[in-house]
Amino acid sequence: MTQESAGRSGLKEWIFTTDHKKIAVMYLITSLVVFTLGLLLAIVMKAGQWSPGNSLVGPKLYNVLFTIHGAGMILWWMIPVFTGFFANLLVPLMIGARDVAFPRLNALSFWFFVGATVMAVLALVTPGRLDIGWTGYPPYSIKTDANTSLYVFAVHLLGASALASAVNFLTTIITMRAPGMTWGRLNLAVWGIFGAFIIQLFGIPVIAGAVTLLLFDKYLGTNFYNATMGGSPILYQHLFWFYAHPAVYVIALPAFGIVSEIVSTFSRKKIFGYTSMVIALMAIAFLGFDVWIHHLFTKGVEDWARIVQSLLTLLIAVPTGIKVFNWLATMHKGSIDFKAPMLYAVGFITLFVIGGVTGIGNGLLAIDIDVHDTLWVVAHFHTVLSMSMTMVAFAGIFFWFPKFTGRMYNERLAKITFWIILIGSLLAFVPYFKLGLEGMPRRYWSYPPEFTSTYRVTVIGGFILIAGFFMTLINIVRSAFAGERATANPWNAKSLEWTIPSPPPSYNFETIPVITAGPYEYGSPEEGKKALPEEAEAF
């Protein structure tokens, strides 16, 4: 969207583009479309849970709805918005490059992603609708009449897209940093994206293999997961979660980076403990690969393996805690301006701690023996994904909105929707913790009558939340066309992407900049002398 062509650029220019900023916008549009679809499915599911045994949805449709909702929200909204939209938008601008290392490969990644999206939509509307859950566990996914192949091929295409992106962005970050842009001067958002793509690179081949074997078992008569012929259905779960657990950090690491950018910019303070932030990001990326068995704590896995992976799971709380306390310390003695992105970031921190500490509950082997596959788990991962990570996605979209559209979003509407989303999320998901502890399993279309009133709270909360999300979507779409014109640096931020016009010209930088300082050079030195945070010592 260069200035002279904005508004006049033809469709052709978008389809054949290799410009990372245009590709970023197309990723955002595609994933927002699937996000909207996921919300619509959630509305139907929620409506059907107003009373137990409600016939509005029924068991068969419910199984299809939660399958597409889960797959869509994770594989088409959360992962692509961070590794597609934010990675494309931010990496070249933040490292001082004119584009990614392989621009045409980047376009191919995007179009593979579109192909996968078309398949996912087909899986919803063609006969043999998917009812296997986004996890697709055999033997059920093999025995059912559902068109498992469509899902498998969609995962293959997504995987090809993500692997190409991983190679592309890792190469870009390693080799194309501007002169003076040392590893110690990289934005934390770039570090987060770097960690995310390392996970993609090592994890995706495994899940691609796992679903391929599923396809062979179902259509070619092989027996990899067939217990009666010497295979093992649990093998699939190991292979699946070997990627699908680290995939959570593919979402979380860039999100952590984005929160760091926002907290530092709006507190007008250096990020507290830059080095420990980087170490924490990389530690999470590494540990993330050693904890998948916590998804199999009640699946007859060897006792010792469960204990080892329980302890490793708990260790992830340590680097995660470091990040939370460093954000707090960054706000301490800051000069905090509560623009919408900052409001979302602060909301994220408190909600994310709920998600994080309930994750410790899942990770505690003995506790998990009770809460596994109950609504407790559903509450946990919706607190992390739907509440925390989606909030970061919105925070980031608003923060860089002036940069990638050249226009400002509606500040007042964004602030109002923050409170609607916060209240809606708490009402929709916190009661699930209670239901889970009372023994209510997940993926149940109906429920025992004694849970009716708690379910109704979640239904009402869900509708409030969805209203908030739709208001955000309206804000994004409306402001993209009719928002106020933005200046190059509306936040007066110090990071590299704000030194060029909004929106940036297609070549980004007229001359490649020479970097002499880090991205968070805020702070008045005379105040720093007397500033030693005492409050935190109370801990």
Partner 1 sequence: MKRFLTFAAVSLLFCLPSVALAEEVDPVKSWDNHFRLYAILVTAIWVLVTVLLIYFSLRYRRKKGQGDGASIHGNIFLEIVWTLVPFIIVVLLGVQTWAVFQEYRKVPKNAYELNVQGFMWGWNVTYPDGIKTTNELRVPVGTPVKVNLTSKDVLHAFYIPEYKVQEEAIPGRTTYFWFLPTKAGEYRAYCTEFCGAGHSLMLAEVHAMDKADFQAWVAKYKEAAAALSPVEKGKKLVDGLGCLGCHTITGEKSTGPTLKGIFGSSVVLSDGRKIIANEEYIEHSISEPKRDIVKGYSPIMPPYKLSDEDLHAITEYLKTLK
- Minimum distance, C-beta of residue 446 to partner 1, in the bound complex (Å): 5
Name residues contacting partner 1, limited to 310-329 (CB under 8 A): 310-311, 314-315, 317-318, 321-322, 324-326, 328-329
Which residue is it, tokens 């070549």?
507
Query: Which residue from 209, 273, 505, 513 is in contact with partner 1, where contact means CB under 8 A?
Result: 273
Torsion sign (Cα): 313, 317, 319, 323: positive
**Of residues 84-143, those binding partner 1 (CB under 8 A):** 131, 133, 137, 139-140, 143
Residues 335-394 that bind partner 1 (CB under 8 A): 335-338, 346, 349-350, 353-354, 357-358, 360-361, 364-367, 369-370, 372-374
Range 42-81, binding partner 1 (CB under 8 A): 59-60, 62-63
Site for partner 1 in 146-205 (CB under 8 A): none
Piece of 72-80, 298-306, 381-389, 503-511 that binds partner 1 (CB under 8 A)? 298-306
> Rounded to 5 degrees, what are φ and ψ at 71?
-60, -45
For residue 27, what are the CA distances in angstroms to 80, 405, 498?
7, 14, 22
Q: Which of 5, 104, 183, 535 binds partner 1 (CB under 8 A)?
A: 535
Task: Name the minimum Å distance from CB 26 to partner 1.
Answer: 34
Q: What DSSP string describes 14-54? A: HHT---HHHHHHHHHHHHHHHHHHHHHHHHHHHHTTSSTT-
Applying CB under 8 A, among 238, 332, 415, 434 the residue interacting with partner 1 is: 332
Write down the H helix ranges in 126-187: 140-143, 148-175
Q: What is the 3-state secondary structure (H, E, C) of 505-522?
A: CCCCCCCCCCCCCCCCCC
Neighbours of 336 (CB within 10 A): 16
Q: Compute how many residues bind partner 1; rule: CB under 8 A.
A: 94
| 290 binds partner 1, rule: CB under 8 A | no
- At position 342, the amino acid (one-letter code) is M
Tell me the three state secondary structure of residue 423.
Answer: helix
Q: Is 439 in the site for partner 1 (CB under 8 A)?
A: yes
Q: Is 306 a residue that touches partner 1 (CB under 8 A)?
A: yes
Binding mask 447-486 for partner 1 (x = CB under 8 A): xx--------------------------------------
From 197-205, 309-317, 400-408, 421-429, span contacting partner 1 (CB under 8 A): 309-317
Can you state the angle between helices 87-95 and 148-175, rounded to 10 degrees? 10
Q: Is 141 exposed, middle or buried (0-12, 13-18, 19+ CB in 10 A)?
A: buried
| Distances 421 to 222, 313, 428 between C-alpha atoms, Å | 47, 30, 10
Positions 498 through 527 that interact with partner 1 (CB under 8 A)? 522-525, 527
Q: Is 261 in the site for partner 1 (CB under 8 A)?
A: no
Nearer to partner 1, 87 or 132 (CB): 132
The angle formed by the CA atoms of residues 56, 58 and 63, to the nearest 5 degrees, is: 125
Residues 226-245 binding partner 1 (CB under 8 A) are 227-230, 233-234
Q: How far apart are CB 303 and partner 1 at their closest, in Å?
A: 5
Dihedral pair phi/psi, residue 420, rounded to 5°:
-65, -45
